[in-house]
Structure 1
Amino acid sequence: MSEHDDAVQSLWPLMDLVTPMALRVAATTNVADLLADGPLDAAALAERSGTDSDALARVLSHLAGQGVFVESTPGVFALNATAEQLRSDSPTGMRLWLDLEGFGGRMDLAFTELLHTVRTGEPSWQRVFGQPFWEYLADHASVGAAFDETMASGREFVLDAARGYAWPSTAHVVDVGGGTGALLASVLEENPDVRASLVDLPETVERGRKYLAERGVDERCTFDGQTFFDPLPARGDHYVLSSIVHDWPDAEAVEILRRCAEAAGSTGRVIVIESHTPEAGSFTEMNLRMLVLLGGRERTVDEYTELARRAGLRVAGVHTTPVDQLVLDCVPEKW
């Protein structure tokens, strides 16, 4: 093989868009669920999934060649361990992340206009979907609900965040932008004397009320349907921002931190939890995702410290969790 061929081979795994899109199509059409009881041919799969049998067969044959699904007989497909992860009941939650009709798939489709972002510095989400990110979720209820579900998935990370701070037994924890309450549920379950408040947009909070009731902890939680750019309820003493600050450019991030600082008063704390430390292998990918979707960014500890300072806070402690999430314990600057 020539030096030229070696160079091409080194690029090839990085340039393929066929396999990633085929995988997302398989997830979106629920093929793995249809194969849960055993092999089926393409005609049967197409009839049950509402797809074209020839096109579906080509997609699945390609994926089988990549180690996803098995095609032991031409045109007949079965699950393997990799394809099992595409089932709706898989604990990995991968189908949720790959579904092109849900939030996860749309998030990836935003990258089709990455060139626009690079040329302008603007998020490409609006160029692809016609509205800024948060407005789109508000106007498309099913995608907004899928976003909430996606943010609540990943039990390991939610538990890690809940255990990533030593909550005092008397704490009243206010989860600001807390989605449907996955983090709060874990905090309340792990700390039976802690009380809590869930703050998010009204529709999300209503889903959170039901979710926390299902977890049996709603009686220790109050619910506030509002934006976090408005004054926050002042009943708490620990205000949590979990995977929130990275969604926003600096000016908005400072404003959110300032609202938390105002509500926390002279004795409260603001706990910032972010899922990606600068040392994490996924830091650069998520940094790019935040830009493309929202105009936000991942940050270093020094950068978070500066945002906190601008919001009237001081970072009193920093540590990482067992799965490398970053936790910053912020107190009023004058402490």
Structure 2
Amino acid sequence: MTQQTPARTVVDIATGTWRTQALYAATVLRLPDHVAAGHTTSAALAAEADAAPDGIIRLMRLLTALDVFAGDDRTGYRLTPVSQLLRSDEPGSMRDMCLMYGEEFHRAWGSAATAIRTGHAGFEDAFGKTLHEYLAEEPEAGPKFLSAMNAGSVFFSDVPAVYDFSGCKTVTDLAGGSGLLLSTVLRANPGLHGVLLDREHMLTVAEAHLSSTVEPGRYEVVAGDIFESVPSGSDAYLLSRILQDWEDDDCITLLSNVRRAMTSTAARLLIVERMIPDGGSAVLPLLYDLHLLMMAGGRERTPAGYASILDGAGLRVESVHELALETSLLVAAPR
């Protein structure tokens, strides 16, 4: 096998964003949906997408080489498992994730050098406001962001597989977003009752999802701020991809609220995050670590980093379980 030259490595990394934008263009133009509907030539796709035929030919040629599609203009294009995931009607679709990564996230990464120089989020430089302000103020941004997060959450199904909820009566999902993680846990544990806590403007999406996936009476949604207080008395608390957005002092404030809410020493906090392993060899956590700087000034943490903020709140790491996509489940117990 020929070893890749340094020059080719530079070119591959430098053009990585072009692949992102090609996938984004196909998603915006709904090409996977059109191919699924039987429009399998460039002419037919151009007509359905209201696009230039030459542009479609060139885009499809690249995406076929990247295994996003199969076939060609002569025999007809076909979906692959990759493009199947970009259909709007596909269960577990990653369409909204590609839209967010190609739009807001792409624009924020354009301020990468500024973010690294200043230590402030690239998103603020690009949009003139924080990510949280943007999500609260832009009517369509919040639901799209939640859908994008859901699309990248295939590891949620691993949580009830690696943690035994059989001894729990109530589980509370803190800043639970769309409710996808809570519904996953509740559906895997029929005797469990769930509570979802989040800001007021996020609850509509959560209620819509939970009402369509979980039996009535098994859950409730509550408006609140996790930095002010947390509902007390649950047997388990879920905290998924929240600590990554905040500095250590903020995390300790939040975690201290959780510790005060634990009325039993048997209660546990389940933290779903990407963890930078000692040695920093895993690429995906390192990519997301820098991405968090672009978005909200956040960070991924090492095992020692998580142990430190948990200790500051009177908690300790009891166990760590590996989930899909280089994600981890940290189980924390009262110290």
Residue type at the aligned position of 2:291: R
Tell me the CA shift for residue 184 of structure 1: 1.4
C-alpha separation between the residues in 1 aligned to 2:83 and 2:331?
41
Matches within 5 A, 1:59-138: 59-69=59-69, 72-73=72-73, 78-81=77-80, 82-91=82-91, 93-99=93-99, 102=100, 105-138=103-136
Residue type at the aligned position of 2:6: A
Deviation digits for residues 97-145 of structure 1 (CA, Å, limit 9, x no counterpart):
212xx46642233211111111111110112222201111111232210
Residue type at the aligned position of 2:49: S
Tell me the CA shift for residue 40 of structure 1: 4.3
For the pair 1:301 / 2:300, whether they are aligned, the reply is no
Q: 1:289 aligns with which of 288, 291, 294?
A: 291
Do the aligned partners of 2:156 and 2:181 also contact (CA within 8 Å) in 1? yes
Moved more, 88-97 or 236-245: 88-97
Matches within 5 A, 1:150-169: 150-153=148-151, 156-169=154-167
Distance 1:19 1:208, change over 3 A: closer
Tell me the CA shift for residue 246 of structure 1: 1.3
Do the aligned partners of 2:234 and 2:267 also contact (CA within 8 Å) in 1? no
DSSP-derived class of the 1:141 partner: coil
Do the aligned partners of 1:60 and 1:77 also contact (CA within 8 Å) in 2? no
C-alpha separation between the residues in 1 aligned to 2:6 and 2:87?
37
C-alpha separation between the residues in 2 aligned to 1:316 and 1:118?
31
Do the aligned partners of 2:41 and 2:73 also contact (CA within 8 Å) in 1? no
DSSP-derived class of the 2:162 partner: coil
Distance 1:247 1:208, change over 3 A: same
Do the aligned partners of 2:98 and 2:148 also contact (CA within 8 Å) in 1? no
C-alpha separation between the residues in 1 aligned to 2:304 and 2:285?
15
Matches within 5 A, 1:201-220: 201-220=199-218
Tell me the CA shift for residue 72 of structure 1: 3.2
Q: Name the structure 1 match of 2:182.
A: 184
Do the aligned partners of 2:239 and 2:269 also contact (CA within 8 Å) in 1? yes
Tell me the CA shift for residue 85 of structure 1: 3.6
Do the aligned partners of 2:32 and 2:79 also contact (CA within 8 Å) in 1? no
C-alpha separation between the residues in 1 aligned to 2:6 and 2:334?
55
Q: Name the structure 1 match of 2:146.
A: 148
Residue type at the aligned position of 2:320: H
DSSP-derived class of the 2:206 partner: helix
Do the aligned partners of 2:34 and 2:45 also contact (CA within 8 Å) in 1? yes
Q: CA RMSD in A?
A: 2.7
Do the aligned partners of 2:155 and 2:323 also contact (CA within 8 Å) in 1? no
Count how many residue pairs are aligned between Structure 1 and Structure 2. 326
Q: Name the structure 1 match of 2:37.
A: 37
Tell me the CA shift for residue 22 of structure 1: 1.5
Unaligned runs of 5+ in 2: none
Moved more, 56-65 or 288-297: 56-65
Residue type at the aligned position of 1:30: R
C-alpha separation between the residues in 2 aligned to 1:69 and 1:264?
50
Residue type at the aligned position of 2:150: A
C-alpha separation between the residues in 1 aligned to 2:220 and 2:141?
25
TM-score normalised by length of structure 2: 0.86
Matches within 5 A, 1:229-240: 229-240=227-238
TM-score normalised by length of structure 1: 0.86
For the pair 1:261 / 2:259, whether they are aligned, the reply is yes
Deviation digits for residues 288-308 of structure 1 (CA, Å, limit 9, x no counterpart):
111111111111222111101
Residue type at the aligned position of 1:277: M
Do the aligned partners of 2:123 and 2:295 also contact (CA within 8 Å) in 1? yes
Tell me the CA shift for residue 274 of structure 1: 2.5
Moved more, 103-112 or 64-73: 64-73
Q: 2:330 aligns with which of 328, 331, 334?
A: 328
Tell me the CA shift for residue 329 of structure 1: 2.9
Q: Name the structure 2 match of 1:10.
A: 9
Do the aligned partners of 1:163 and 1:187 also contact (CA within 8 Å) in 2? no
For the pair 1:251 / 2:257, whether they are aligned, the reply is no
Tell me the CA shift for residue 156 of structure 1: 4.0
Deviation digits for residues 195-244 of structure 1 (CA, Å, limit 9, x no counterpart):
22100112322222222221133412122112211222224232221221
C-alpha separation between the residues in 2 aligned to 1:124 and 1:319?
31
Moved more, 280-289 or 33-42: 33-42
Distance 1:131 1:22, change over 3 A: same
Distance 1:18 1:301, change over 3 A: closer
Do the aligned partners of 1:286 and 1:298 also contact (CA within 8 Å) in 2? yes
Q: Name the structure 1 match of 2:316.
A: 315
Unaligned runs of 5+ in 1: none
Distance 1:58 1:259, change over 3 A: same
